[in-house]
Amino acid sequence: MWNRKEKRLKRNEESLRELWDNVKCTNIHIIGVPEGEEREKETEKKLQEIIAKNFPNVGKEPLTQIQEAQQVPYKTNPRRNTPRHILIKLTKIKDKEKILKAAREKNKVTYKGTLIRLSADFSAETLQARREWHDILNMKGKNLQPRLLYPARLSFRFEGEIRTFTDKQKLREFSNTKPTLQQILKELLQAEKSKRRRNAKRAVKANPKQLIKWQ
């Protein structure tokens, strides 16, 4: 009985997640643009400037109207030293995909000399699931061409075939049968762990009070 309830609850959670993802399916997050006192129209212009500067070919083709443009969250947090995201809601998903594809191909996207990122907008649950693959995506340097598929599946090329995994456990089981892949993953995870340790040390030096939270 409890099994049935758990399965039903999980299905409901999945349905809710998919609903929120569908609501957000035409959205783009622009991350890293310095803060300003812009009104909505000026925020819209930023996307147009980014496209014109970084993806001129995309700019040549007419895009559908921008439904909404705003900074999120609505109010600034004085404790946060990073700029708020700019949320752009387009009218058609094909325009969002066109812009994000151009951003992936360019690798480095800038706004007035500042490095920025463009990303799709997802529910909190989908975002968390996708973050689990963050370290594995560094396999780009290993010619494996990793990609994240919706909602949070990892796909990459190995031994001439496209492999897809829904979670790290399945990837681990597969890599146990492939010593070459196992070694690549081991090196990546160790490098990522060292990087997190260095970042934590720098954060503690900048703000010793943070040490209390990590102890």
Residue by residue, what is the 3-state secondary structure of the chain? CHHHHHHHHHHHHHHHHHHHHHHCCCEEEEECCCCCCCCHHHHHHHHHHHHHHHCHHHHHCCCCCEEEEEEECCCCCCCCCCCCEEEEEECCHHHHHHHHHHHHHHCCEEECCEEEEEEECCCHHHHHHHHCCCCHHHHHHHCCCCEEECCCEEEEEECCEEEEECCHHHHHHHHCCCHHHHHHHHHHHHHHHHHHHHHHHHHHHHCCCHHHHHC
* The domain boundary residue, chosen from 121, 146, 168: 121
Per-residue pLDDT of the chain (215 residues; tens, 9 = 90+): 667 888 888 888 888 888 999 999 999 999 999 887 566 668 888 888 999 999 988 866 766 688 999 988 888 777 878 899 999 999 999 999 999 999 989 989 999 999 999 999 999 899 999 988 888 887 766 678 888 898 899 999 898 899 999 988 899 899 999 998 888 888 776 766 676 677 677 766 666 554 444 44
pLDDT on residue 215: 44
pLDDT of residue 2: 63
Residue 36, pLDDT score:
74
CA distances from 45 to 2, 51, 102, 111 (A): 53, 10, 18, 12
> Could you give phi then psi for residue 166, rounded to 5 degrees?
-90, -20
Which of 121, 153, 173 delimits the end of a domain? Answer: 121
* Residues 91 and 150 both lie in one domain: no
Domain that holds residue 90: 25-121
Residues 65 and 87 occupy one common structural domain: yes
The verdict on 100 and 184 lying in the same domain is: no
Question: 142 and 103, same structural domain?
Answer: no
Distances (CA, A) of 134 to 19, 60, 151, 168, 208: 24, 33, 14, 11, 27
pLDDT of residue 64: 66
- The pTM of this model reads 0.69
Q: Is 50 in the same domain as 100?
A: yes
Q: How far is residue 194's CA from residue 189's CA, in Å, rounded to a whole number?
A: 9
pLDDT of residue 29: 94
